[in-house]
Amino acid sequence: MGMLGAMVAHPEEVYPMMKLKLASDRIRRQFPAEPHWAFSYSMLQKVSRSFALVIQQLGPQLRDAVCVFYLVLRALDTVEDDTSIPSDIKMPILQNFYLHIYDRKWHFSCGAKDYKILMDKFHLVSTAFLELDKSYQEAIEDITRRMGAGMAKFICKEVESIDDYDEYCHYVAGLVGLGLSKLFHASGSEELASDNLSNSMGLFLQKTNIIRDYLEDINEIPKSRMFWPCQIWSKYADKLEDFKYAENSTKAVECLNDLVTNALIHAEDCLQYMSALKDLAIFRFCAIPQIMAIGTLALCYNNVEVFRGVVKMRRGLTAKIINQTNSMTDVYGAFYEFSSLLKSKIDDNDPNANLTRKHVEAIQKACASSGLLNTRGLHMHKSSRHTLLLIMVDSASYLISAVVGRLYVWSLVCHGFLLFLMWAVTCSCKEDYWQKRKLSMSTERP
């Protein structure tokens, strides 16, 4: 479904999309004047638009620290992801990356597109890093050192067991959760969260990405890099790439559901972490990606399209989540409803059906027992196989958005029709003019 089709089918999402677009444009106009900060924020916008939007709501010093933290780890991740770099070159770069962030001249060419630009001009990120408060620098250095060492460890190690899977996700994402908790604490806005809860925040996001990105990762050039644990996928196939083929669809989906079930383990920890946050900007910064994760898991569950292409939320639904996430009531409502969507897709014949249902019901119980759950009207879009999307709206905002959306769509249609009429009239007038001119010239001839 194209953008216009999506707007017609879901007009209540037009207003949030327009609001998101205006906010993104405003961010681009407000880049700092200093070259290194202008580069950092422009790169943030290019490598993660949604992240760039929520980060802008943080206080100035914390915003700068989180921006640099994100770009440093994104650069580290670019080195790890580039399969064209020989291991003997890649490993020392990963292990020493925490030292490079202090070097105003260091850069390393790798990656592609925007990520290559980030790496080619990484010295500008280092310059920004060196302007941060010492407490922020120490937190970023510590996490970068530990993450680089962990990534280097898995360059020569496959993800065999579920313990390996959790360890790898800890290095590449759990440590991000720990680092952000340190930055929030250093800003004076939050208490220091426990490592266990901070780790779960990262694991929930990372496992969602690993599940969703199967096809992209298996088709990676020049060689694939997969992080689905052998302990899980070997129950369903002899080779991980077998899931790409249609004849293995049943087993592929069973394996997918097994992995989604594993990821759901972290949801309750995430709810506990978010419920302790005090600062609204920090809360939104943390909550929006977590809602996106539970929503993506609901879309991926029991969905063979994960092995055929990209499964992700509509842009309009993403905009709505960004617009409407302002309290734990919103978070509990989102988690409850997305988990309900996932639960509705559980097939009793699936090998992990009972375990999946147990985890989903635990999430729903945590939401309900909070006393803050406000279940809102469901708006589902059904495909030929699944109920795909779930939208949370209160009645007032839904009505306003729907009206605005329909008016916007019809204004586009009417505008196009008027342009067509103007064109047709212009062409007709031109034709009449030239016919009259031709007639006039012919009568004037002797």
- Residues serving a catalytic function are 168, 212, 225, 285
* CA–CA dist 68, 76 (Å, integer): 12
* CA–CA dist 406, 32 (Å, integer): 37
Contacts of residue 132, defined as CB under 8 A and 6 or more positions apart, other chains included, come to 61, 64, 65, 68, 140
Which residues are 187's β-sheet partners? none
Place of tokens 């509509």: 314
User: 197 is written with which tokens?
Assistant: 């809860």
* CA–CA dist 339, 111 (Å, integer): 36
In the 3-class helix/strand/coil scheme, how is 51-68 assigned residue by residue? HHHHHCCCCHHHHHHHHH
Which residues are 387's β-sheet partners? 382
Contact 102, 130 (CB under 8 A): yes
Q: How many helices (H) and strands (E) does the chain have?
A: 22, 2
Contact 409, 11 (CB under 8 A): yes
* CA–CA dist 13, 215 (Å, integer): 29
User: 160 is written with which tokens?
Assistant: 């065999």
Contact 248, 240 (CB under 8 A): no
Helix (H), strand (E) at residue 7: helix 3-9
* CA–CA dist 205, 361 (Å, integer): 20
Contact 8, 402 (CB under 8 A): no
Contact 277, 283 (CB under 8 A): yes
Closest CA to 344 of 362, 335, 357, 330: 357
Place of tokens 């090998």: 351
Residue type, position 150, single letter: G
